[in-house]
Amino acid sequence: MNENHAAAIARFRAQMGYAHARMIATFSAVPEDRIDWSPSPTAKSALAIGSHCVDANRAIIEGIRGGEMPEGPNWSFRLPDKQAVLDGLAETFAAYNEALDHATPELWAEVTETPGGPSTRGELADFLGWHLAEHAGQIEYLQTCWDDQESHYPEG
């Protein structure tokens, strides 16, 4: 592993650590009676967003490891409840870090097809934290719809 690769891995770990903590803090604050609520028939609920994050994390981690990714997001994938999403986020956070432990510069230079077009596996590793943090922001917006004005950022 060279210095640039090691620096990238450290940056990705920090970015994903923050994104994971933000999603856990934000999603955990959703009341049980609001977990599958959405502001309109076409809007996504916190449960739909959290389920998507777990599903997308699994797919992207497979891509980081050298496997093939599915053709696109599967918004019909739905975990049964809040705890299943929290468990899935914990599982994929551990899997992401494990994938980084085994990453090589050669693997990360490989180009693979993704739903967003061709990408290197290293770019996938970079993308995952951003993806998770952006969806945490969607859940924060939903919280304002039921007048939760409290900040649910992670402590520390």
Summarised one tens digit per residue, pLDDT across range 76-100 is 999 999 999 999 999 999 999 999 9
Of 123, 92, 112, 91, whose CA–CA distance to 12 is shortest? 123
Helices 121-145 and 3-28: crossing angle, nearest 10°?
Answer: 20
* pLDDT over 90 at 156, yes or no: no
For 1-156, where are the alpha helices, taking DSSP H only?
3-28, 46-65, 82-101, 105-109, 121-145
pTM here? 0.94
What string of DSSP letters covers 16-46? HHHHHHHHHHHHHTS-GGGTT--SSTTSPPH
Quote the number of domains for the chain. Answer: 1
Residue 10 within a domain: yes
CATH number of residue 123's parent domain = 1.20.120.450
Residue 151 within a domain: no
* pLDDT over 90 at 54, yes or no: yes
Residue 153 within a domain: no
